[in-house]
Structure 1
Amino acid sequence: MEALTQAMRGLGPVRLAMMGGVLFLMLGFFIFLLTKLGQPNMALLFSELSSTDSNTIASEVSRLGYPAEVRDQGTSVWVPADKALELRLKMADRGLPVGGKVGFEIFDETDTLGTTDFLQNVNLRRALEGELGRTIQSMDIVHRARVHLVMPRRQLFSREEQQPSASVVLAMRSSKRLDHEQVTAVQNLVASAVPGLKPGRITIIDDKGKLLSPGFEDDQSVNTIAAKNEERRRSVEARMARTIEELLEKTVGFGNVRAEVNADMDFDRVSTTEEIYNPDGQVVRSTQTVERAARNQESETDAVTVGTNLPDAAPGGGEGARAQSDESSTEETVNYEITKKVINHVKTDGSLKRVSVAVLVNGIQGKDKDGNPTYTPRPKEQMEMLATLVRSTIGFDADRGDSVEVVNMEFTSPIKFEEPLELFFGLGKNDLLRLAEILVLSILGILVILLVVRPLVSRAFESIPSAQEAAGRLLADTSSHAAGLLGGPSAPAPAEMEEEQFEELIDIDRVEGRVKASSVKKVGEIVEKHPEEALSIIRAWMYQEA
């Protein structure tokens, strides 16, 4: 113990401070190493969470006795990898995550006895908005959804009834977008959940500010009809392209054909009425016959004379000759019905005006004797047969202006990813990465001990005997000088003593141990302050000489 104390005193405050700092750093490094090795392998439990859900899930996992870490600015929760599936099921059993929305569980947390009617209506609206948002958010293409409902209350003695309305904001995943049918489905979903709400009074926009469905619009508006026509055109093109690819893949192989279809469609609705009369197809519709007969008989009288005008004369004076005429007529009216054909031509919208098809076919790929990939173009006869199949599939019509192009080109090879790391003694990829991390940290700790700590400690303790030896030599030199001053027989002259002292000082200055020349003057003080140490040094000299 005395030797250790003496060694510590010989180090000095600077070396002691350096050794203390190194020991402190080593202690901290080993604590970090042990903490790192003691941590379990973490795996992702949930991602893309709201701050409320992250806090709730982390608290629930900690309550179950498992460590939980919140990362990515509070949007993801990490748990031990071996407990991830179990904890995910437990969180789902507790209804987590809720998506940061308030649903009908709000009524489980409020006291309905002391709640006003106004607050009940507000909670009901919030619950409907939250539940609709969760339902819409369950779609794979939708990342987040927010619903706002306006449900006006009808006032007493009011004849006018205000219609409810709604607005929906959707955040899509990556660059995906909703088509017209999906937008209509969201409208009908919201309208069915709110009493009295019509689909036309629901406005839907996306997170980019694009209007997907304007409110207050019926199905017969120009924008709605145009969107439906565009959707029908894309559907026809996709159906034709899929049919062509499925047909040709039976011959050229899966993934070796790509088809693109451009369909020019006519969405005009035309109604034509045509009446055709056939004069050769006369038919008697009705016949009317009218017969007339008349007979007229007239008698001729004598001429008027003086005698006929006398009194008592006979009025006729005599009968003359009689005249008789017969008259008859027949009138016949025949009505003919001419054959008439009425044709109504109704041309429905969505007819094909022109179809253009482009088909890209891969060649024949194989390997040579050395295993290198080879490519061989397909024969021209085979390409013509494939073009014939495509024409038959789309209903090719040259008069309509259809065009079909089938081209043979080499496809680029898909990128081959590295095979997953095979199991080693039953250890998975995560386990091997964990072992590699532990090995690297252990090697780093050993290198720090060998390259940093060991040289510092060795140098510090090696400087102790050098300093003692230098101090002893100074002490011996000083004692010799003191003996000369006392007039001893072996005392040299003062000039010789100064020269020897000077030469000794030069030797001392070169001694390892950082002994300065000014230490010579302080040797006496050292002996007075530390007599025991000086005595031990002298004894050491005696043993060395012996």
Structure 2
Amino acid sequence: MGKLSEVFAKIKDKVKSMSVGQKIAFVLIFSIILGFIIFYTSYSRANKYGVLFSNLSAEDGNLIKQALEDKNVDMKIEGNTIYVPKEQVDSLRLELAGSLTGGSTGYELLDESSSFGMTDEQFNLQKLRATQGELERTIKSFSQIKNARVHITPGQESVFAKEATPAKAAVYLELKPGTKLTNDNVKSIIALVSGSVGNLPKENIEVIDDKLNLLSKGLVDDEDSSQLIGSLDKQQETKKAFDKNLEEAAMEMLSLAFGKNNVNVTVNSKLDFDAKEKTVISYDPNKVEASSQIIRENTTSGGSAPAQSPLDGNMNNTTPDGNGGTTSSSENITTNYKVGETKETVISAPGKVENITAAVIVNGQLDEATKEEVKKLMAGVIGYN
């Protein structure tokens, strides 16, 4: 430290002994040397790093950053680009490439880019990319999905409805190891994509997995038929449950008389599963006067008139006055009656019993009286009148 102080003291004395011109030259030379040292240091430091990955999404950038920190690797981050020492670029890139998830860019794509100066076609393309990215993010949030890609072909609009073409979409799914998608899962993904894109019918969406299996095959086309089949299956299950309840009730009653293992009962019912609505309108025969209107007219005219009997018209009388003229009067009576009306709407719930048949097998010989008792018992159980 003392030697360094002596050196600075000698330099200081030397500078003091210089002329003004020498001092200026010394300062210039010193500034150039110092600037060169700073430039060289900065250049060497900048040249030390190489690009590991660029254009990373926030998700991928965080994964790579965490991996480098775990390995204690010196790194530099500028925007969405990560730098590491040049000699480590190749090895780290090979090692960490598998960690990238291909993060999707969503609506922030529209926030980052200004629409000023864009054509309509360019803006629609940006919007399409943003929609694809948002769908990919949503699909990747499902527990079975490791990665997803969505490709949308927009529909062509036209002022003529017949010439407009609907949009199409393809969804690629990479599943997590050991997971599997059910048909309902695939239908949910199809509904998600269809609802997020205008004029995109469900039948125009194809879903494939990383093993090239077409997961959406027949799902949309068979949706209506499957609903019908499901409804028929439910009706059959209802009928079977109804028959079984009657069989068990009959078996319980007959087993008391003949023993549990000596009786077998089979019931077959016919149920009407059609929902019916009936409207009945009835009228009250007793009429009620709602309104009445009476119009009377009196007309007087001069001159002679032929004699006319008051009975010539039902509602018109004409009589001569004392001056040789005539006086005419008429009366019009209108009466409105209100008829009472009752409107009743009856809705029949599906499942009405139309017919029931039952067969009973009893182990042993039965006389006619016992057979009649069994018939009466079965009629009571199944509700036969």
With structure 2 as the length reference, what TM-score do the two structures score? 0.36
Structure number with greater Rg is 1
- Structure with the larger strand share: 2
